[in-house]
Structure 1
Amino acid sequence: MDPVTFATDPTPATRHLPAAPRLIATDLDGTLLRDDKSVSDRTVAALAAAEEAGIEVFFVTGRPARWMGVVSDHVHGHGLAICGNGAAIVDLHGVGNGHRFVMVRPLERSAALDVVTLLRAVAPGTSFAVERTGGFHHEPAYPPMHMNPAASVSPAEEILAEDADTACQPVLKVLAFHPELTPDGFLALARTAVGNRAEVTRSSPTALLEISGAGISKASTLALYCAERGISPAEVVAFGDMPNDMAMLSWAGTSYAMGNAHPDVLAAASARTAANNEDGVAVVIEQILKAL
């Protein structure tokens, strides 16, 4: 199917949509959020209108739960979101306006250590960070990626040690950064080295990889959530822009790559919408509601 760019092509989205979609699954960065990390008034209105029409909106992101404040006010009803590329389902309406882990799908400690060892061997100069349920830990050489302070700074082998102070906290994902490799080149190298020991993907424009447990992805966790509620893939409309969205876009019955999406994502999706800065998700939601 030829992709449709709604920024310039007025072809109705209904051409691609199921008769009665029950769930909208959307990535955040580069997709729902504009480049300044804001949610536009148009998008806020579209999300609210979808839920008023009985279509569940589910945020599915690589972000950790602590970075979800930007959209927590826009999660209505169920209050749930998938974080960490499928490593956790989080209730953003937790006690005291905090978040609560509803489901955790961890990266086992032994597998995380194997990944660190393998990537140190095939890509010297790689630095690592570890996202646990209780916080973020990184190596001294790992570059600052966000203003949130780290819970600790030490070598990855110490962070992942069996007797580490945080050993009781499940590992959601390991992050690996290389200062010289290209993003796609590092991804291909790491996937070959790691094999089926873990799931390796990326969502950053830099050579920053995100590593989850084997078989854990946005798609697999969303599938679990939908199966519990009797929602079929054909009843899901998904949006994304980067390689970590590709499995979800392939799983959903209808999927949209953003106009600003990675070339591989454009090829994987069943259609294309406008770029994130042009409210591409809202454009499609408005056309869905018009059709209903």
Structure 2
Amino acid sequence: MMLPSLVASDLDGTFLDTGKRVSERNAAAVHRLKELGIPFVVATGRPARWLQCLEPICDTHPYVLASNGAVVFDLAEHRILESFPVPREVCLDVAARMRERCPDVSFGVEYGIGWGREPESPLRGDMVEAEHIGHLAEITEGRPFVKLLVVSREMDSDRLAERLMDLCDGLLTCTWSMGGPLGLLEVSAPGVTKASTLARLCDELGVDISRAVAFGDMPNDLEMLREVGSGYAMADAHPLLVNAGLPRAGSHDESGVAQVLERLLTS
């Protein structure tokens, strides 16, 4: 069997354990990829400021696609290499229609590294307070942003997606990646996904994406897992991924990514 041309992995629920740590086994697998000259790509919904967890593999210089592919980030130099901003006027129009349909929603935005939020929008456990707090029109005025955050205290993410995703059709890209009682939709520029930015990176690297391998667990990973040659859904993946008939990896708490890579790299 040929070795993978490239390996991409989501972070939360996939490459990280429940404690948000990189296991020694997963780190060792990434270092082995480095030895073999196989690119490793982190493809995460996390913003660039939430990447401290990657310290155990920082020396391998992984490619980082943050904010669901809206930001290409240089981890070693802590700088944005490329970003894909959300069109502001389209965003404001879609957001207004979302609020009309679901009056409880509030909004935030990711600028790339920093972020802004409406006063009523929760912090989401962020360790860094928003740079700008105000109504959506105010926090986006003159500030390019790569993601709109749509938050509901009344619906979880699955229910919120059912209610609002259709408002983005043909205008913006909408997905979700957070479980729990707080609903969160993540809205990017049209056509911007983990899959689209990974495909661009593969083209730039001269890598055959049909021989690439990827891992994920949530709806924002599904398109990426279908784009590559072998896309693995984690053991406790969202039902959308389970029902897609993808091959399965082990649990993120049992280094499921490393389990698959060890098999692929020695077969």
TM-score by length of 1: 0.87
Paired with 2:131 and 2:12, the residues of 1 have a C-alpha distance of 24
The answer to whether the 8 A contact 1:90-1:103 is kept is yes
Q: Cα 1:134–1:25, aligned 2, differ >3 Å: closer, same or farther?
A: closer
2:75 aligned residue: 92
Secondary structure of the 1:197 match is: coil
2:132 aligned residue: 152
Are 1:228 and 2:204 an aligned pair?
Answer: yes
1:112-138 residue CA offsets vs partner (Å, 9 max, x unmatched): 212211111111110110111351111
1:246 aligned residue: 222
Paired with 1:147 and 1:77, the residues of 2 have a C-alpha distance of 26
* Alignment-mate amino acid for residue 116 of structure 2: H
The answer to whether the 8 A contact 1:255-1:269 is kept is no
Secondary structure of the 1:124 match is: coil
Please report how far the alpha carbon of residue 188 of structure 1 lies from its aligned counterpart in structure 2 after TM superposition: 2.2
Q: Cα 1:79–1:276, aligned 2, differ >3 Å: closer, same or farther?
A: closer
Secondary structure of the 2:20 match is: coil
The answer to whether the 8 A contact 2:215-2:232 is kept is yes
The answer to whether the 8 A contact 2:86-2:146 is kept is yes
Are 1:29 and 2:12 an aligned pair?
Answer: yes
What is the 5 A alignment of 1:91-110?
91-94=74-77, 99-110=78-89
* Alignment-mate amino acid for residue 24 of structure 2: D
Paired with 2:208 and 2:241, the residues of 1 have a C-alpha distance of 22
1:98-117 residue CA offsets vs partner (Å, 9 max, x unmatched): x1111111111112212211
Secondary structure of the 2:243 match is: helix
Secondary structure of the 2:225 match is: helix
1:57 aligned residue: 40
Determine which structure has more spread, i.e. the larger CA radius of gyration. 1
Over 3 Å off, 4+ runs? 75-79
Aligned counterpart for 1:259 among listed residues 223, 230, 235? 235
Secondary structure of the 1:250 match is: helix
* Alignment-mate amino acid for residue 4 of structure 2: P
The answer to whether the 8 A contact 1:72-1:92 is kept is no
TM-score by length of 2: 0.94
The answer to whether the 8 A contact 1:241-1:258 is kept is yes
The answer to whether the 8 A contact 2:156-2:184 is kept is no
Aligned counterpart for 2:118 among listed residues 134, 139, 159? 139
Aligned residues with identical type, % of pairs:
38
1:201 aligned residue: 175
Higher relative contact order (CA 8 A, sep 6+): 1
**Structure 2 residues not aligned, in runs of 5+:** none
Secondary structure of the 2:52 match is: helix
Aligned counterpart for 1:218 among listed residues 180, 188, 194? 194
C-alpha RMSD of matched pairs (Å): 1.4
Aligned residues: 264
